[in-house]
Amino acid sequence: MYLMHTNDHVKCCDDDLLLLLQNGEKWAFDEIYARYWEKLFVYLIKVVTDKEEASDILQEIFISLWHRRFSLGGISSLKAYLFMSAKYKSLDYIKENINKNRYLESITVFFDRQNDSMEEQYAADELSILIDKEIDRLPPKMREVFILSRRENLSHKMISEKLMISEKTVKKQINNVLKVLRLKFTTGKSL
């Protein structure tokens, strides 16, 4: 059954090639590769749908076959072994790819949210600066009423007592400030 490397090796059956491979015969490995690479490649392309990935997996299968050549004694069918290897390696690729895609999606979502919140924060900071500038332009009494109301959260009654003005005046001053701000930020004009 042990054959020499001749043109007869193409006539070897898979079982003989497997035994020769287990004995370290490089030409037996080359023959196995020549017989099965294309069939395995077609199978892998159907499973992983990417030629480059299929090619990489195919290479891994044959590298593994060569490295394990001395421990292949339990294989009953070379063809079945190769296709099972292709099946498991392609499933590993799919699982890994799914995890990578999930990871990439979660990273993308995270950074999108971060960008959105950073943009929102930036917009809020810019708006706050613009509002402060407009408040600084208000007449002093109107500015004081507004600051006591909105920044110090005092009630109309408390402001009226503190500034010794009527609650009606406090309310009117706050409404006037809000009109000024609304006009400024909806039309871009000041009063």
DSSP 125-139: HHHHHHHHHHHHTS-
Would the pLDDT of 7 be above 70? no
Give 126 or 190, the one with higher predicted confidence.
Answer: 126
- Best-predicted range by mean pLDDT among 102-106, 155-159, 175-179? 155-159
Would the pLDDT of 190 be above 60? no
Least Cα distance to 37 among 102, 99, 83 occurs for 83
The verdict on residue 114 lying in a domain is: no
| pLDDT one-digit tens code per residue, 14-66 | 889 999 999 989 999 999 999 999 999 999 998 888 899 999 999 999 999 99
94 and 147 in a single domain? The answer is no
The residues, any chain, with a CB within 8 Å of residue 66's CB and separated by 6 or more, are 29
CA 32 to chain centre: 40
19 and 75 in a single domain? The answer is yes
64 and 147 in a single domain? The answer is no
78 and 13 in a single domain? The answer is yes
What mean pLDDT comes out for the span 122-133?
A: 77
Would the pLDDT of 1 be above 70? no
Task: For residue 52, give its domain range.
Answer: 7-102
pLDDT attached to residue 153: 85
The verdict on residue 109 lying in a domain is: no
Q: Which two tokens stand for residue 132?
A: 């402060």
78 and 165 in a single domain? The answer is no
Would the pLDDT of 8 be above 70? no
Q: Which of 102, 127, 154 is the last residue of a domain?
A: 102
CATH code of the domain containing 64: 1.10.1740.10
pTM, two decimals, is 0.51
Q: Which two tokens stand for residue 45?
A: 């392309």
75 and 21 in a single domain? The answer is yes
82 and 141 in a single domain? The answer is no
| pLDDT one-digit tens code per residue, 54-106 | 999 999 999 999 999 988 888 888 999 999 999 999 888 888 877 776 666 66
pLDDT attached to residue 4: 44
Would the pLDDT of 177 be above 90? no
97 and 154 in a single domain? The answer is no
CATH code of the domain containing 176: 1.10.10
Question: Cα separations (Å) of 57 from 26, 88, 97, 175?
Answer: 21, 10, 13, 72
> Rounded distance, CA 88 to CA 41, Å?
14
89 and 30 in a single domain? The answer is yes
- Read off the amino acid at residue 77: S
Which 8-state DSSP code applies to residue 8? G
> Rounded distance, CA 50 to CA 29, Å?
26
Average per-residue pLDDT for the chain:
82
153 and 91 in a single domain? The answer is no
Least Cα distance to 56 among 100, 89, 81 occurs for 89
The verdict on residue 177 lying in a domain is: yes
pLDDT attached to residue 189: 57
Q: Which of 102, 124, 157 is the last residue of a domain?
A: 102
157 and 82 in a single domain? The answer is no
Query: What is the total count of domains within the chain?
Result: 2
